[in-house]
Structures are given as structure tokens and as C-alpha cells.
Amino acid sequence: VTVYLVGAGPGDPGLITVRGLDLLRRAEVVVYDRLVAEELVAEAPEGALLVARDRHDQPEVNRLLVEHGLAGKEVVRLKGGDPFVFGRGGEEALALAEAGVPFEVVHGVSAIGSVPGAAGIPVTHRGVSQQVTIATGQACDGASPEFAALANAPGTLVFFMGLARVGRLADGLLAAGRSADTLAAVISKGTTHEQRVVTAPLSELASAVERAGLEAPALVVVGDVVALRERLGLD
Ligand SMILES: C[S@@+](CC[C@H](N)C(=O)[O-])C[C@H]1O[C@@H](n2cnc3c(N)ncnc32)[C@H](O)[C@@H]1O
């Protein structure tokens, strides 16, 4: 294997896997996402080629991975959270597979499996929520989420990439039948020392988020599980 698609975890540098850190420490080329903790990028060996992903568009990133992979370099593509959860890891894996470059996916701790919990919100809880639906607040084709289906889904809703559209998300769910007093939370920079959390009923969520001036990355969690945060003493 020459190219490793490694999940770096949600922000806390301690949440990379042992295998991911081991590969990072012996990489020759590291292509890293903007959301990856700088402490992790600093773990690359001296002399490794470090490439910031946000200076390149996706086809260029794919090409870089293929080129360095074909050259036989040990390449770590360090990605926020898990590579296969809203991370375009599948697209990069396809580009490598099509070019005949051997690769391995080293999964990581996704925001879905860590950020609500870091805010004291279990996404499932017996008797409260038996189902979790995750969606993007920003589809790549600009389409709105499927509000009718989402509003009627039982259990917990989690939106990735929803901060900039939190008002539209709340309005869409309300218009599709969710009650105005449904509890919601927005968790900014979850798992890091800059983590901030705002909770509010759906009808007041956008104004509460604006008042607080929350910054990306943030996760939006909707449902009765949000009340557990207070009961767990983390409010
Ligand atoms: C492009 S997606 C990448 C998701 C990543 N692959 C994962 O598994 O978590 C970026 C979105 O993930 C969410 N996210 C990632 N890290 C986060 C964090 N530390 N706190 C809150 N949300 C986070 C935000 O919704 C952000 O807009």
C-alpha cells in the first residue's frame, strides 16, 4: 500500500487512531484538510512534503494522490473525522482504484460519533431516541434537504455543514410539521478546547446561534436527546 486515507478525528488531536498516527509519523507526503488539528500535522517526519488541501480543488487533490502513489511514496491523506462520512474519501478512493494505485482507508472518529457526546448529548438513548438520521445542510448541487422526510423521521436528526443555513434548516423542519418547541443544539468546534454549545427550541435556534456568534465547524442536533445535556450536568 502506498496511499493511506487516514481519519484524523473531529478536532481533539488525541482522537486519531493509533494506526493513523503511526502511519503519519512515517509518511513521506501528507495532504491535510483545514479542519485537521495542527498538532497532528506537526507529527509528520521532518522533511516530509506537507500539502494543505485547501490550496487545491478536488481533482487536483486526486491527481496529487495518484502521482505520489504511482511514484511509490508513503502518502497519508489526512482527513477530518472519518474519510467516508461527508469527507469525499470515497471520491479519492475511486480515483486511486481507477489509476491502479494501492490504497487503504484508515477510519477515524467522525463528528457524528464524538461531537454530540462531547456536548453531553447521546444521539441514541433508550426510551428517547432509537434512530439517528444524518444529513448535510449543504448539498453539493445546492438542493435543500428533504424536509418532509427529515421532519417525519423518528429519533434524532444531525446536520453536518448546517451552521450557515441554520435558520433555513429550522424553518424547513417547522414548515414540514416539526413542533416549534422541539429542542435543538448547535455544537461548534466540538471536542476542542474552543467547543461552544447553544441549545434552543427549533423556533428560536437561528436567533440564539446568531447572538452567540458561533463559528464553523458546527453540528446541528435536533430532538429530545438534547434535553439529556442538562440532566447530565453539562449545560
Ligand atoms: C466536510 S464535513 C467532514 C466530516 C468528517 N469527515 C467527519 O467524519 O466528521 C465537515 C463538517 O463536519 C462537521 N464537523 C467536523 N468536525 C466538527 C467539530 N469538531 N465540531 C462540530 N462539527 C464538526 C461540521 O458540520 C462540518 O461542517
Q: Of all atoms in ligand 1, which is nearest to the CA of residue 83?
A: 6
pTM: 0.96
190 CB less than 6 Å from ligand 1?
Answer: yes
pLDDT tens, position by position, for the chain (235 residues)? Answer: 899 999 999 999 999 999 999 999 999 999 999 989 999 999 999 999 999 999 999 999 999 999 999 999 999 999 999 999 999 999 999 999 999 999 999 999 999 999 999 999 999 999 999 999 999 998 766 777 899 999 999 999 999 999 999 999 999 999 999 999 999 999 999 999 999 999 999 999 999 999 999 999 999 999 999 999 998 877 6
pLDDT at 235: 63
Cα 196 to middle of ligand 1, angstroms: 14
User: Cα 66 to chain center, whole Å?
Assistant: 24
Cα 72 to middle of ligand 1, angstroms: 31
* Pairwise CA distance, residues 131 & 157, whole Å: 9
Rg, the chain, Cα only: 19
Region label for 201, one of left (φ > 0), alpha (ψ between -120 and 50) or beta (otherwise): beta
Cα 80 to middle of ligand 1, angstroms: 7
Cα dist from 178 to 42, 87, 182, 223, whole Å: 45, 29, 7, 10
pLDDT at 144: 78
Residues in the chain: 235
